[in-house]
A and B are shown apart, each in its own frame.
Chain A
């Protein structure tokens, strides 16, 4: 019955229906602070609504038509079976931290720096931190995430964590289309370091949507490496909001590899708040079919003497769509800023599209900022050169595309991930649809 009714509802009505259901289920369980936050978030979402393509930030990315597929919010209870097989292949990347439909599982085997958000929120400090970097005001995605906030991880990192943490978001769409909200809080103490890998795995035939919000503080001289790998099936979608604040002499490296999925929207925002902070953002998109990959990046220089560098590359085939919107904001006092941005795209099909827009807002006068964007096809001279040595056209194209892609994967500091991804990319480039 509910399934039939679900199809008749608008996305916002569906959310309201599920929210009412959640409130009923949680009644009596929820502590007041969190339930107040959820209510505020839900009210904010109701106020601003789901962004449509008339919204400047969502011009090329039709969230409405994605949500029209009808996603249900799962209220989770009971035991969780093991999903070991869905991540056995990536065990060698690091310590696996699995989340099932947004809920941290296998808690007993996790390292001590990993806590469940639902447990950590009993602590006033974490509770107050929630939403400070990703406020709900004016942000439908964060408001939606907060209204359905249940769990996620809290990473409190106080030293050098040598073993990477691999967060695996398992989305269970075996019985119906599902939307999962995950909320993560990351805190790196001064001089601490962490490599965090984010991966998705979808189960079943249904459509799955992950709405992931991460708030991270990188303390003085600390280093956070965040590697986001989006390689799920076409029925798996994701919206990520990664808000990072970077303190004095600290460093953030964000590498996003989007080589699978249906609808992918990433909104990383890095705020450099201490002098000498550095942000390195890079992204690789490999899309075909009707895949959409949208990177809306924000780098904000708030204080003097910080550096940032962005390189996003895309290879688009079929009827795929790429979006790159790179915002660099240099605040008035952020003198001696050095901020660079480049977006390079190769279009393999006449039906693929790229929409690219640099957005530089510079309010300081003594800065070095640059941006560049290229859209093109493969270099014909290079193709002929390779073919004149005996490589088939397809082989030559795959080799050139792999080289184009490897500029990004080469920056991944972990050999296991790098080689697995390169092998996967090579496989995709030799597949019929691409090249």
Chain B
């Protein structure tokens, strides 16, 4: 098989005094969609934060290779430039910075990194218009401050819009479904599905199976107490939905 986009081995991480990740192993190959499910507090968002390079998360053991490189040594912006994208669970409002300015700066940083010329104003606007359609974003949003005053659904759509603009190799969706009604969920999922490609991989972090009806994963993992305790095909998600997490976690708790 080809080289994995992401290879996680025995990853341990802590926030403050508490160990959150306690030995995560994961391989993600190009074209795949991995779902990471698990009850609250199992370490799902911590895994996303560690991969994106958020401060305050300390890796105490293990390694993460991203396209063969040591991801943990990279600054957050280097990870982004290398094609890693995190769709935030809580997208940040940035008053005074318009979506257009923000994305233009970001995209041109990425292009510079890839040795490409920056896009001119017209090319950039056309690209924004085209990609905005994917997630039904009104071009009027381009000149509004990033996420400021957006509804929960608009913020999540804006994350997927950014994903579409920045074209990452690996996209991590951190509870993108939380706070979405069914219509918004469908729009977000359609956007993600349109962006699936043989080169690109997704890690979809979710508490509920609902999103996975729309974004059908290749592999489903259950993260519990900082470890992946079960991995299976897409049907695993349905089984979890039907039986609840206790069904798998009890086995783990007994083992402990």
Contact = CB atoms under 8 A, between A and B. Distances in A.
Mutual binders A and B: yes
Interface of A: 379-382, 384-393, 395-396, 399-400, 402-404, 406-407
Contacts of A407: 95-96
A380 B76 CA distance: 13
7 closest residue pairs by CB, A with B: A403-B96, A390-B80, A389-B106, A385-B92, A387-B76, A390-B109, A387-B77
B96 A406 contact: yes
Interface string B120-164: 000000000000000000000000010000000000000000100
A407 B76 CA distance: 28
Contacts of B166: 389-390
A404 B94 CA distance: 10
B23 interface: no
Contacts of A382: 92-94
Contacts of A400: 94, 97
Nearest to B80: A390
Contacts of A393: 75, 77
Most buried by A among B75, B76, B92: B76
Nearest to B111: A390
B40 interface: no
Nearest to B95: A403
Nearest to B79: A388
A388 B53 contact: yes
Interface string B82-125: 00011010011111110001110111011001000000000000
Interface of B: 52-55, 75-77, 79-81, 85-86, 88, 91-97, 101-103, 105-107, 109-110, 113, 145, 162, 166
B92 A391 contact: no
Nearest to B54: A384
A360 B32 CA distance: 63
Nearest to B96: A403
Given A391-B105, A393-B75, A399-B105, A386 B94 contact: yes
B80 A387 contact: yes
A262 B76 CA distance: 38
Contact of B55 (A384, A399, A402): A384
Contacts of A399: 97, 101-102, 105
Contacts of B86: 388
Contact of B76 (A379, A388, A395): A388
A388 B52 contact: yes
A387 B162 contact: no
13 contacts: A384-B76, A387-B76, A387-B80, A388-B52, A388-B80, A389-B85, A390-B80, A392-B77, A393-B77, A396-B77, A400-B94, A403-B95, A407-B95
A404 B96 contact: yes
A403 B97 contact: yes
B189 to A, nearest CB: 22
A282 B81 CA distance: 39
A141 B206 CA distance: 66
Contacts of B81: 390
A380 B91 CA distance: 13
Given A384-B55, A387-B80, A407-B96, A395 B105 contact: yes
B88 A391 contact: no
A140 B97 CA distance: 44
Contacts of B110: 390
A401 to B, nearest CB: 10
Most buried by A among B75, B80, B97, B145: B97
B109 A395 contact: yes
A224 to B, nearest CB: 27
Contacts of A391: 77, 105-106, 109
A63 B84 CA distance: 54
B176 to A, nearest CB: 15
Most buried by B among A389, A390, A404, A406: A390
B10 to A, nearest CB: 25
A74 B79 CA distance: 61
Nearest to A396: B77
A380 B81 CA distance: 20
Contacts of B106: 386, 389-391
Contacts of B80: 387-390
Most buried by A among B79, B80, B110: B80
Nearest to A380: B55
Given A386-B94, A404-B96, 16 more contacts: A384-B92, A385-B88, A385-B92, A386-B102, A388-B76, A388-B85, A389-B102, A389-B106, A389-B162, A390-B77, A390-B107, A390-B113, A390-B166, A391-B105, A395-B109, A399-B105
Contacts of A404: 96
Contacts of A388: 52-53, 76-77, 79-80, 85-86, 88
Given A387-B76, A390-B109, A399-B105, A381 B97 contact: no
Contacts of B105: 391, 395, 399
A80 to B, nearest CB: 43
Contacts of A402: 96
Given A390-B80, A390-B81, A393-B77, A385 B94 contact: yes
Contacts of B54: 384
Contacts of A395: 105, 109
A372 B3 CA distance: 56
A399 B109 CA distance: 14
A403 B103 CA distance: 15
Nearest to A399: B97
Contacts of A387: 53, 75-77, 80
A405 to B, nearest CB: 9
Contacts of B95: 403, 407
Nearest to A401: B96
Contacts of B113: 390
A379 B55 CA distance: 13
A342 B13 CA distance: 42
Nearest to A392: B77
B48 to A, nearest CB: 11
B118 to A, nearest CB: 13
